[in-house]
């Protein structure tokens, strides 16, 4: 934590240290070049992601929203009163705002790596809900983290919607869920969205939409890397590619080099052949029973699940065991 400030009617914002250049360099210099999906989210990337959520092809957001619309009172009843609502990957904070009137949290803690975007969203929300104490955190979940002392420790509800858990390898997802369990007491819980396995065309179109918004979202990572590292990626020389990897049950997003090129920065360089790829994201799709077993092994149980009529998406509430 490098910076904290607060005032009477403003949400407190605690920002993270500068992004790690070293991690990006290791990924770019690997034989199979790759970058963590967290680099998709700068100010432009967060706006493009919001646009993706409005696309007809991108079923997760609207399917999850429809589950909340249909089952909100059941979900709220299952959860019961919670004091501290911790929103993991909060973005525009809209999903959590829908929960406020039912869950009446005392403190709201939105967390996101894209801190500037989050800060604007949470300040607007603080005006709408002046009686909820709000503390926004800029955090990178892929690194070790703990919640600061400002965060209430009683009755923590972790809210992890949108199926962002799918960005983790299954073994990392287990570690992450275990960590959430260690960050709450026995009165804690987890409300999480899970994208389920479905027909491959539906999956593929969701990550390769007709307007090219997902392509722009993926390509934007190159601009972001240019800013962080000082690389000279030419966005025109790259193409978006998404595929469903059946054996790993995951969508993969790649950027594919259109031409041979050498990218340089500092005293380093990386040569790319035509067709060579940078792997930018995995988005794992789960079988619900397998996911519940994963939750259980991480210390969350007594799960209750709500799904849509197609069984495309699930909202799960589980209690700390």
Give me the sign of the Cα torsion angle 201, 207, 213, 218: negative
Nearer to ligand AVJ, 269 or 290 (CB): 290
69: which 2 tokens? 């619309």
**Inter-axis angle of helices 213-229 and 43-54, nearest 10:** 170
Please identify, using beta-carbon distances, which residue of 110 and 299 lies nearer to ligand AVJ. 110
Tokens for 65, please give them: 């929203």
DSSP 8-class letter at 286: B
Which candidate, 114, 25, 35, places its Cα nearest to that of 278? 35
Contact 207, 55 (CB under 8 A): no
Closest CB to ligand AVJ among residues 151, 194? 194
Cβ 106 to ligand AVJ, closest distance in Å?
A: 28
- CA-closest candidate to residue 319, choices 165, 184, 164, 153: 184
Smallest separation (angstroms) from ligand AVJ to the CB of 183: 21
Confirm or reject binding of residue 92 to ligand AVJ (CB under 6 A): no
Q: Does 283 bind ligand AVJ (CB under 6 A)?
A: yes
Q: Does 280 contact ligand AVJ by CB under 6 A?
A: no
Q: How far apart are CA 320 and CA 187, in angstroms?
A: 7
By beta carbon distance, the residue nearest ligand AVJ is 283
**Does 114 interact with ligand AVJ (rule: CB under 6 A)?**
no
Minimum CB separation of residue 130 from ligand AVJ in Å reads: 30
Q: Is 21 exposed, middle or buried (0-12, 13-18, 19+ CB in 10 A)?
A: middle
Nearer to ligand AVJ, 27 or 45 (CB): 45
To ligand AVJ, the closest distance from the beta carbon of 275 in angstroms equals: 22
Tokens read off for 18: 């500068």
Q: Is 138 in the site for ligand AVJ (CB under 6 A)?
A: no
For the bound state, the minimum distance from the C-beta of residue 89 to ligand AVJ, rounded and expressed in Å, comes to 7
Please list every residue from 23 through 62 that binds ligand AVJ, using CB under 6 A.
52, 60
Alpha helices in the chain, H assignment, sequence order: 21-29, 43-54, 59-79, 94-103, 115-128, 170-182, 200-206, 213-229, 288-297
First to last CA, the chain: 30
- Binding string to ligand AVJ for residues 185 to 214, with x set by CB under 6 A, is what? ----------------------x------x
CA 177 from chain centre, in angstroms, equals 14
Q: How far is the CB of 252 from ligand AVJ (least distance, A)?
A: 10
Site for ligand AVJ contains 162 (CB under 6 A):
yes
User: Which member of 19, 110, 138, 166 binds ligand AVJ (CB under 6 A)?
Assistant: 166
Stretch that binds ligand AVJ, among 12-20, 142-150, 164-172, 299-307 (CB under 6 A): 164-172
**Tokens 């929300």 sit at which residue?**
125
Of residues 163, 220, 233, 298, which one binds ligand AVJ by CB under 6 A?
163
- Binding part of the chain for ligand AVJ, among 107-115, 146-154, 158-166, 287-295 by CB under 6 A, reads 158-166
162 vs 188 by CB, closer to ligand AVJ = 162
Q: Supply the minimum distance, in Å, between the C-beta of residue 291 and ligand AVJ.
A: 14
Report the sign of the C-alpha dihedral through residues 50, 54, 58, 60, in that order.
positive
User: How many whole angstroms separate alpha carbon 108 and alpha carbon 185?
Assistant: 17
167 binds ligand AVJ (CB under 6 A): yes
Residues near ligand AVJ (CB under 6 A) are: 52, 60, 162-164, 166-167, 207, 214, 281, 283
């Amino acid at each position: 934590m490098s910076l904290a400030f607060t005032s009477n009617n403003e949400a407190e914002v605690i920002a993270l240290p500068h992004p790690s250049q070293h991690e990006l360099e290791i990924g770019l210099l690997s034989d199979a070049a790759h970058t963590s999906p967290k680099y998709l989210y700068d100010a432009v990337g967060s706006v493009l992601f919001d646009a993706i959520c409005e696309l007809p092809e991108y079923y997760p957001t609207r399917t999850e929203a429809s589950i909340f619309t249909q089952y909100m009172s059941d979900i709220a009843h299952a959860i019961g009163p919670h004091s501290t609502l911790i929103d993991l990957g909060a973005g525009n904070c809209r999903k959590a705002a829908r929960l406020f009137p039912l869950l009446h949290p005392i403190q709201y803690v939105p967390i996101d790596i894209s801190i500037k975007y989050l800060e604007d969203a949470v300040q607007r929300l603080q005006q709408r809900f002046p009686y909820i104490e709000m503390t926004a955190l800029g955090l990178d979940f892929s690194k070790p983290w703990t919640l600061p002392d400002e965060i209430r420790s009683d009755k923590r509800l972790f809210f992890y919607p949108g199926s962002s858990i799918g960005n983790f390898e299954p073994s990392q997802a287990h570690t992450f869920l275990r960590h959430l369990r260690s960050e709450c007491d026995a009165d804690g819980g987890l409300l999480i969205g899970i994208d389920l396995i479905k027909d491959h065309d539906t999956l593929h179109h969701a990550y390769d939409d007709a307007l090219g918004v997902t392509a722009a979202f993926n390509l934007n990572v190159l601009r972001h890397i240019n800013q962080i590292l000082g690389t000279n990626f030419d966005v025109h020389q790259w193409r978006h590619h998404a595929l469903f990897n059946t054996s790993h049950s995951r969508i993969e997003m790649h950027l594919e080099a259109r031409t041979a090129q050498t990218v340089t920065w500092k005293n380093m360089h990386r040569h790319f052949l035509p067709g060579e790829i940078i792997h930018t994201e995995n988005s794992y799709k789960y079988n619900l029973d397998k996911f519940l077993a994963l939750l259980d092994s991480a210390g969350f149980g007594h799960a209750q699940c709500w799904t849509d009529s197609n069984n495309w998406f699930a909202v799960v509430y589980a209690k700390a065991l």
